[in-house]
């Protein structure tokens, strides 16, 4: 065993300690006025109550799944009794550890995020810089914990399973860790997404449009459920999503490294993904620490600049620093681990080619940041186009939003295929002396590993990206607490600006997640074919032939699964939202004092009832799409065999990537078109035509205008797109891969 294994373990422990430091920084901050604390306490209780109920359900499902996986592998895989038993118990234990770590990372991160809400609201009464620091560092607790626990989990289980085993056997034994993480993430993301959007749709449609009250108004019975939903969907759900992303993609890259280790006897090929990810944690910490209150320009000194633009510039600068240090890390890791005399290239050393491949992945992450900002930020054409379409009503708002959603697939896909092609080219420049017993030479192993290095490069900034993502719900809740706590308009201006930035950063994270999923799709697909070859030793496994009727059937089912799964997720939001709308209307109708003219005559609505409706709706509705997602690839592999399973995996993944782009960016564009209008940027001339947002002669169409109501409808359509179905597809894409990797022995045994 190489000493390199201690690098990710040590860095992972230090990252957990760093997350503890960030948590103490946030928790020491002032919690605000008694009114702020009252709202924050209600959000905290609602969020923890939902997570407790959700994870009880997920725990039961996980235990059942672990037993089933162990039984299937023991009864139906190849080998003698001892070999089958060893594979079964190790896979099941790895599954449970992955599931546990995934749940814990989401749980702890959400706890600190919820505790950051009132502290951010309180900081906003003092300065933009302090509010930005509190919200970003609160989000970074989740980011660093998720990535550190993923890195520690994979590294430690690899170390433990190496005892008594050759290290080339271990990556296939620990693949259950990725499956467990994916399994939990799917239900966590689904449940959280359904909860948050059921509450959001109910609060918006009845509160804003029917009752004509502002967002986060304390008179709205669904407002607490909406604020709770931001945390359970965007903090816990996204944390579990990126935990399983980093775990599954790490293990897939390690499986690809096995063939190269067998050819060169250099364990660096297997351990490289773990070490380069450890460099990524260091880079993310440096980027985060760059942002200090002293570098943030306050609105009163910004010569009229939008506070949101000021905050976004600082977040981007921290991200660029993270990426720059990551480039150094990937070259250093390649030099230390992937060189040596056993590999060769033309005139450029082998480690340089792999360093370039990793840099391609880092550049892809930056490209996704720019592309996602272009399609979801109000400073660019797509969002302004949707805002303009609100002038003619909800129908044109939806039509334009769908056009933007479909359009936004082109640039990301071009970026993905360019990154795959370039990284494969760089890796293929390295010649590795590999025998046909390990790999028949049908594919270029150096090129495939180049794409794996690119994937690891993209994941290096994961902790910083997740910090920006969790920053979103923290600032959203801070705005709600400020509104419900009756703070001054100047304070709400700061929280509104940060909330608008948070909408963009949440969209960036979704873009980042689907970009890394697309890169990893090829990585995990190649790992699956390597596993098939290790059992069958037949070069034909590397050829997935769509002219084969079984492969074609499976591929078509895989593509259909993506759309059917999304339908179930969106329908679940619609059903739960109907119950929420009926409840909010009932409370307004039966208790008129909620809307009393005089503040002293008002009574609080029944917030707890709305939280309970979202909770029950989410827990009930997450089961069916989750079960469909898990069982479809299993049934295909059992009935049609491993080659057909490869067809399902390949085409299903492609469809999932494209549809997730449509749902994520389309929903984000609708949301920010609404925010664009609420910020007072939609101006029209005397003919009712949209003009520049800074045109002094233009008439502002803001909140409560017809255009605003149309934008709320568009945002409502986009809500389940971007926060339920889209993010859940990220998980589904990787779940398909991890299931096929875990159950490959079963498919081969049934179809020898």
CA separation for the pair 418, 401 (Å, rounded) = 27
Contacts 24+ apart (CB under 8 A), 60-65: 61/183, 61/187, 61/626, 62/95, 62/96, 62/99, 62/180, 62/183, 62/184, 63/96, 65/95, 65/183, 65/630
- Res. 300: pLDDT tops 70: no
Indicate the pLDDT class of residue 426, thresholds 50, 70 and 90: very high
How far the first Cα of the chain sits from its last, in Å, is 34
Tell me which DSSP letter residue 30 carries. Answer: -
- Res. 341: pLDDT tops 60: no
Contact indicator for 306, 497 with CB cutoff of 8 Å: yes
- Res. 527: pLDDT tops 80: yes
What percent of the chain lies above the pLDDT cut of 90?
A: 32
Mean pLDDT confidence for 118-131: 86
Q: Note the pLDDT of residue 345.
A: 65
Q: Note the pLDDT of residue 172.
A: 82
Indicate the pLDDT class of residue 303, thresholds 50, 70 and 90: low
The mean pLDDT value of the chain amounts to 86
Indicate the pLDDT class of residue 606, thresholds 50, 70 and 90: confident
Mean pLDDT confidence for 579-598: 87
CA separation for the pair 346, 597 (Å, rounded) = 80
Contacts of 126 (CB under 8 A, 6+ apart): none
Lowest model confidence (mean pLDDT) among 137-146, 267-276, 478-487: 478-487
Mean pLDDT confidence for 148-161: 92
Indicate the pLDDT class of residue 723, thresholds 50, 70 and 90: confident
Report residue 695: phi and psi, to 5°: -65, 115
Most confident of 9-23, 327-341, 470-484, 599-613: 9-23
Indicate the pLDDT class of residue 463, thresholds 50, 70 and 90: very high
Report residue 137: phi and psi, to 5°: -70, -35
- Res. 564: pLDDT tops 60: yes
- Res. 1: pLDDT tops 60: no
- Res. 741: pLDDT tops 90: no
- Res. 542: pLDDT tops 90: no
Q: What is the pTM of this model?
A: 0.87
Give 349-359 pLDDT, tens digit per residue: 888 899 999 99
Give 498-521 pLDDT, tens digit per residue: 887 887 787 777 788 888 878 877
Q: Note the pLDDT of residue 102.
A: 83
Q: Note the pLDDT of residue 228.
A: 82
Give 661-702 pLDDT, tens digit per residue: 999 889 989 988 998 898 888 999 988 889 988 888 888 898
Give 57-68 pLDDT, tens digit per residue: 889 989 999 998
Indicate the pLDDT class of residue 438, thresholds 50, 70 and 90: low
Q: Note the pLDDT of residue 246.
A: 84
Higher pLDDT residue, 673 or 602? 673
Indicate the pLDDT class of residue 49, thresholds 50, 70 and 90: confident
Give 224-262 pLDDT, tens digit per residue: 888 787 777 777 777 777 787 788 888 888 888 888 888
Q: Note the pLDDT of residue 644.
A: 95
Q: Note the pLDDT of residue 751.
A: 87
- Res. 186: pLDDT tops 70: yes
Q: Note the pLDDT of residue 439.
A: 66
Cα of 688 vs its chain's centroid, Å: 40
Mean pLDDT confidence for 482-505: 79
**Domain extents in the chain:** 3-750
Kind and range of the H or E element at 532? helix 489-536
Q: Note the pLDDT of residue 576.
A: 87
Contact indicator for 551, 626 with CB cutoff of 8 Å: no
CA separation for the pair 752, 232 (Å, rounded) = 45
- Res. 616: pLDDT tops 60: yes
Contacts of 168 (CB under 8 A, 6+ apart): 258, 261, 262, 270
Q: Note the pLDDT of residue 344.
A: 63
Give 439-459 pLDDT, tens digit per residue: 676 778 888 899 999 999 999
């Amino acid at each position: 065993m190489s000493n390199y294994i201690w690098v990710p373990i040590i860095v992972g422990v230090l990252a957990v300690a760093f997350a503890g430091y960030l948590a103490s920084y946030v928790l020491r901050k002032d919690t605000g006025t008694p009114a702020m604390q009252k709202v924050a306490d209600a959000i905290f209780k609602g969020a923890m109550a939902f997570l407790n109920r959700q994870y009880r359900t997920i725990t039961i499902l996980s235990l059942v799944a672990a037993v089933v996986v162990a039984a299937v592998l023991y009864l139906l895989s190849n080998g003698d009794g001892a070999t089958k038993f060893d594979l079964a118990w190790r896979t099941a234990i790895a599954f449970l550890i992955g599931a546990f770590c995934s749940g814990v990372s989401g749980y702890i991160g959400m706890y600190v995020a919820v505790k950051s809400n009132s502290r951010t609201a309180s900081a906003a009464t003092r300065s933009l810089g302090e509010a930005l620091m509190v919200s970003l560092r609160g989000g970074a607790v989740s980011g660093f914990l998720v990535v550190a626990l993923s890195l520690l989990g994979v590294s430690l289980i690899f170390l433990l399973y190496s005892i008594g085993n050759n290290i080339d056997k271990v990556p296939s034994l620990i693949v259950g860790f990725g499956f467990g993480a994916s399994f939990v993430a799917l239900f966590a993301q689904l449940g959280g997404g359904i909860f948050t959007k059921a509450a959001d749709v109910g609060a918006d449609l009845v509160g804003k449009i029917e009752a004509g009250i502002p967002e986060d108004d304390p008179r709205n019975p669904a407002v607490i459920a909406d604020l709770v939903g931001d945390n359970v969907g965007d903090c816990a759900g996204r944390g579990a999503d990126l935990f399983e992303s980093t775990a599954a993609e790490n293990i897939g890259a390690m499986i690809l490294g096995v063939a190269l280790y067998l050819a060169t006897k250099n364990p660096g090929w297997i351990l490289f993904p773990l070490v380069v990810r450890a460099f990524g944690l260091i880079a993310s910490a440096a980027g985060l620490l760059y942002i200090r209150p002293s570098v943030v320009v306050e609105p009163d000194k910004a010569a009229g600049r939008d506070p949101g633009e000021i905050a976004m510039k600082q977040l981007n600068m921290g991200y660029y620093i993270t990426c720059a240090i990551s480039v150094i890390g990937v070259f250093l890791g390649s030099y230390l681990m992937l060189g040596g005399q056993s590999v060769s290239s033309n005139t450029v050393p082998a480690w340089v080619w792999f360093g370039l491949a990793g840099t391609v992945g880092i550049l892809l992450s930056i490209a996704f940041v720019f592309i996602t900002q272009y399609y979801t930020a109000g400073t660019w054409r797509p969002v302004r186009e949707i805002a303009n379409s609100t002038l003619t009503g909800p129908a044109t708002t939806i039509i334009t939003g769908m056009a933007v959603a479909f359009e936004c697939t082109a640039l990301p896909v071009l970026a993905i295929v360019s990154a795959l092609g370039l990284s494969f080219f760089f890796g293929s420049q390295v010649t590795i002396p590999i025998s046909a017993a390990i790999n028949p030479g049908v594919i270029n192993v150096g090129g495939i590993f180049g794409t794996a290095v690119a994937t690891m490069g993209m994941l290096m900034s994961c902790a910083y990206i997740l910090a920006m993502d969790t920053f979103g719900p923290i600032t959203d809740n801070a705005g709600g607490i400020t509104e419900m706590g009756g703070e001054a308009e100047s304070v709400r201006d700061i929280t509104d600006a940060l909330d608008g930035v948070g909408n963009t950063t949440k969209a960036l994270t979704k873009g980042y997640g689907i970009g890394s999923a697309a890169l990893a799709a090829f990585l995990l697909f190649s790992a699956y074919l390597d596993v098939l070859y290790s059992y069958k030793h037949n070069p034909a496994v590397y050829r997935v032939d769509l002219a084969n009727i079984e492969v074609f059937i499976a591929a078509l089912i895989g593509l259909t699964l993506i759309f059917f799964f999304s339908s179930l997720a969106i329908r679940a939001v619609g059903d739960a939202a109907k119950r929420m709308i009926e409840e909010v209307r009932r409370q307004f109708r039966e208790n008129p004092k909620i809307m009393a003219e005089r503040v002293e005559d008002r009574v609080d609505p029944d917030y707890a009832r709305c939280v309970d409706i979202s909770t029950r709706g989410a827990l009930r509705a997450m089961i069916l799409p989750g079960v469909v997602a898990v069982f479809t690839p299993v049934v295909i592999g059992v009935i049609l065999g491993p080659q057909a399973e490869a067809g399902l995996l390949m085409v299903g993944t492609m469809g999932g990537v494209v549809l997730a782009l449509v749902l994520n960016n389309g929903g984000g564009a609708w949301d920010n078109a609404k925010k664009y209008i609420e910020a007072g940027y939609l101006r029209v001339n005397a003919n009712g035509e949209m003009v520049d947002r800074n045109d002094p002669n233009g008439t502002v169409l803001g909140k409560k205008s017809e255009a605003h109501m149309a934008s709320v409808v568009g945002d409502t359509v986009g809500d389940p797109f971007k926060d339920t179905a889209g993010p859940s597809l990220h998980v589904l894409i990787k779940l398909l891969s991890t299931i096929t990797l875990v159950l490959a022995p079963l498919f081969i045994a049934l179809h020898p």
